[in-house]
Chain A
Amino acid sequence: MAASAIETAVRTGRLTRALIYAALLVFAVYYLLPLFVMMVNSLKELDEIRGGNMLALPEIVTIAPWIKAWNQAQIGVQPTGLAPYFLNSIKMVVPAVIISTLLGALNGYVLTKWRFRGDTLVFALMLFACFIPFQIVLIPMARVLGFLGIAGTTWGLVLVHVVYGLGFTTLFFRNYYAAFPTELVKAAQIDGANFLRIFYRILLPSSGPIIVVTVIWQFTNVWNDFLFGASFADFDSQPMTVALNNLVSSSTGVKEYNVHFAGAILAAIPTLLVYIVAGRYFVRGLMAGAVKG
């Protein structure tokens, strides 16, 4: 969506425009409100939240809830805070993203530039895999992870996320490479480059944008996943989302809303950061996943 694309022939009057801006502003408030609520209340004392107004700025600013959420809060049995789970998530996300992106790139390359009989069927099968409800694989997956001896480990989660991310990463690269001139591959063949060399000398150097899109997509999805983490992780491999849910919904003791909000923001920071830094690519990934054309 480049600036030049912001072009419409529809004309509107001055009053209409004022109303449009007002409406857009109201929506902006609506979308920002929960983040604002989380932010202000994570900086309040618990008493102030209980007695007061959720939308008010803190009377006394405190970062104690953040510290507690990070390394003191009781999650499961230990008062470790979210820090170890944050680390678990990173240990899971990094290899899962790298492996699934790399495989997706190779798959996309083969499916567009080395086409063979039945390749459309192969692609269709991979594509449908993007959309299955994961409930359908939970039971056998638990058994297979046990069989492989990686049940409850971070590597087990990596495997799960790679397998179920492959459909999307392949889709992204396939659509990108479909628009990549096949004549370049032919030229490289005549120049004597083989299958892998053509990939890493010709295609890969031009794949910057789609790599960014794919990495962001996979990062966001894997980081935000809850179902697989809740199903297949042990206490010492649980990702951030599962830990946050445990923190928030533990029924014992006082409900420390400020700590919950701080924890929620901590869980959101990595993906929000990616969104702020590379939002354009994030949206491109979303659109590619939705409008497959």
Chain B
Amino acid sequence: MSFLVVSGLEKRFGPVEVLKGIDISVPQGGFLVLVGPSGCGKSTLLNTIAGLETVSAGEILIDGARVNELHPSKRDIAMVFQSYALYPNMNVAKNMSFGMEMRGVPRAERKETVARVANMLQIEDLLDRKPGQLSGGQRQRVAMGRALVRDPKIFLFDEPLSNLDAKLRVEMRTEIQKLHQRLGTTIVYVTHDQIEAMTLATVIAVLKGGVLQQVGSPAEIYNMPNNIFVADFMGSPSMNLVPARLDRADGALVVSLKRADGSTTALPLHRPSDAARAHVGRDVILGLRPENIDDAPEPGATSGYHHPLEAHVEVTQPTGADTLAMIRLGGREAVARLRAETGARAGERRRFTVDMSKAVLFDPETEERL
């Protein structure tokens, strides 16, 4: 049974359509991440769930009850804002207890709850300070504390980590993950950072221009992107998108890549979909993740799904853990993620293997997956 349901949601600001028919549902205890480039409508969607913005059409259900008409404070939600939105004139303890004060919770109970949550987040020694006296990471903790004291049905996070430096961001990401595991509360989380989305989510929803592109588990989104936009947006470095042709050779489907000298390389396709079968003889876009192009001289790698390929190496970028190689593939630049100790050198022609079991095909016209 879904705990949070968004169905047929539309939002217009005057003539501008910001959300165009959004359908998402999340089970209880799920972690939904809304991801997309800026201006895609993800924050607006979060605001409509919070009740901070009205909806033009559609429905929002929390725990089976329609909340469209409910005031934000009546929806049993808590929200952590990008700027943290700590009340500058109140100290940390007041910030955390303000909501309870508004709901008429007795003073003693307020104090106890604040103490408990402060202990959980290890911010007890900050309780008397004003927000202006806190570091970025501390403010972030207080903002979470303010949400936690509510013990809500759903936590809403609006890009909560985007104002932190890189190191702190990774730390807080882990912190949020632990919190989610411990409390088991449903979370809706907005970010433009696809790594955050992949690491935190149980369900990812990718938005673009107010339209939902795909909803699914991180693995689904990563391995089976619905369209070129999702393929390109999720993953870093992003998926290689190589122009190719879908042909039939010896009764099997092959993807033909053009090479610089005019000849073609044929890569056999595994378990092609019906849509792909119907597309034979036409242009396609081959989608390959960088880690599915390798130069490991594994014996027998050419058997199974791994197919050999020769390509020109343009530059190599060692990252420490592995080495990225920019190679020429089908007339385009493509990235291969190689082992750190690879012998690949800039300027050489090198033999690679491609894992075709992970390959996806897109229709270049509709940009949809085949």
Which residues of chain A have a CB within 8 Å of any CB of chain B?
181, 183-184, 186-193, 197, 201-202, 205-206
Q: In whole angstroms, how far apart are the Cα atoms of A48 and B88 in the complex?
A: 60
- 8 more contacts with CB within 8 A, not counting A183-B81, A184-B86, A186-B50, are A181-B85, A188-B87, A189-B71, A190-B79, A191-B73, A192-B103, A197-B102, A201-B87
CB pair A191–B85 under 8 Å, yes or no, is no
**Which single member of B78, B85, B88 contacts A186 (CB below 8 Å)?**
B85
CB pair B82–A202 under 8 Å, yes or no, is no
**Which single member of B78, B82, B89, B102 contacts A206 (CB below 8 Å)?**
B89
**B136 an interface residue at 8 Å Cβ cutoff?**
no
Q: In whole angstroms, how far apart are the Cα atoms of A206 and B83 in the complex?
A: 17
Q: List 18 A-B contacts (CB under 8 A).
A: A183-B81, A183-B82, A183-B83, A184-B86, A184-B87, A186-B52, A186-B81, A187-B85, A188-B87, A190-B51, A190-B72, A191-B73, A192-B71, A192-B74, A192-B103, A193-B98, A201-B98, A205-B89
Residues of A close to B71: CB separation below 8 A = 189, 192
**Which single member of A181, A183, A192 contacts B73 (CB below 8 Å)?**
A192
CB pair A192–B99 under 8 Å, yes or no, is yes
**B77 an interface residue at 8 Å Cβ cutoff?**
yes
Q: In whole angstroms, how far apart are the Cα atoms of A184 and B87 in the complex?
A: 7
**Which single member of A181, A186, A205 contacts B79 (CB below 8 Å)?**
A186
* Given A186-B50, A206-B88, also A191-B82 (CB < 8 A): no
Q: In whole angstroms, how far apart are the Cα atoms of A202 and B73 in the complex?
A: 16
Q: In whole angstroms, how far apart are the Cα atoms of A187 and B52 in the complex?
A: 9
* Residue-wise interface mask of B (99-129) relative to A, using a CB-CB cutoff of 8 A (1 in contact, 0 not): 1001100000000000000000000000000
CB pair A190–B78 under 8 Å, yes or no, is yes
User: Which 6 residue pairs spanning A and B have beta carbons closest together?
Assistant: A192-B73, A191-B99, A205-B89, A192-B102, A183-B85, A187-B85
CB pair B98–A191 under 8 Å, yes or no, is yes
Q: In whole angstroms, how far apart are the Cα atoms of A187 and B90 in the complex?
A: 14
- CB closest residue in chain B, given A203: B89
* Given A187-B81, A190-B99, A191-B99, also A202-B87 (CB < 8 A): yes
Residue in A187, A188, A189, A197 whose Cβ sees the most chain B Cβ within 10 Å: A187
A89 to B: closest C-beta gap in Å? 34
Which residues between 58 and 99 of chain B lie within 8 Å of chain A, taking CB atoms? 71-74, 77-79, 81-83, 85-89, 98-99
Residues of B close to A193: CB separation below 8 A = 73, 98, 102
- CB closest residue in chain B, given A184: B85
* Residue-wise interface mask of B (44-58) relative to A, using a CB-CB cutoff of 8 A (1 in contact, 0 not): 000100111000000
Residues of B close to A187: CB separation below 8 A = 79, 81, 85, 87, 146
* Residue-wise interface mask of B (120-156) relative to A, using a CB-CB cutoff of 8 A (1 in contact, 0 not): 0000000000000000000000000010000000000
Residues of B close to A202: CB separation below 8 A = 87, 89
* Given A202-B89, A205-B89, also A190-B50 (CB < 8 A): yes
Q: In whole angstroms, how far apart are the Cα atoms of A206 and B51 in the complex?
A: 26
Q: In whole angstroms, how far apart are the Cα atoms of A193 and B72 in the complex?
A: 10
B92 to A: closest C-beta gap in Å? 14
Residues of B close to A188: CB separation below 8 A = 87, 98
B15 to A: closest C-beta gap in Å? 13
- CB closest residue in chain B, given A191: B99
Q: In whole angstroms, how far apart are the Cα atoms of A187 and B80 in the complex?
A: 8
B94 to A: closest C-beta gap in Å? 10
B18 to A: closest C-beta gap in Å? 16
CB pair A190–B73 under 8 Å, yes or no, is yes
Residues of B close to A186: CB separation below 8 A = 47, 50, 52, 72, 79, 81, 85
B80 to A: closest C-beta gap in Å? 9
Residues of B close to A189: CB separation below 8 A = 51-52, 71-73
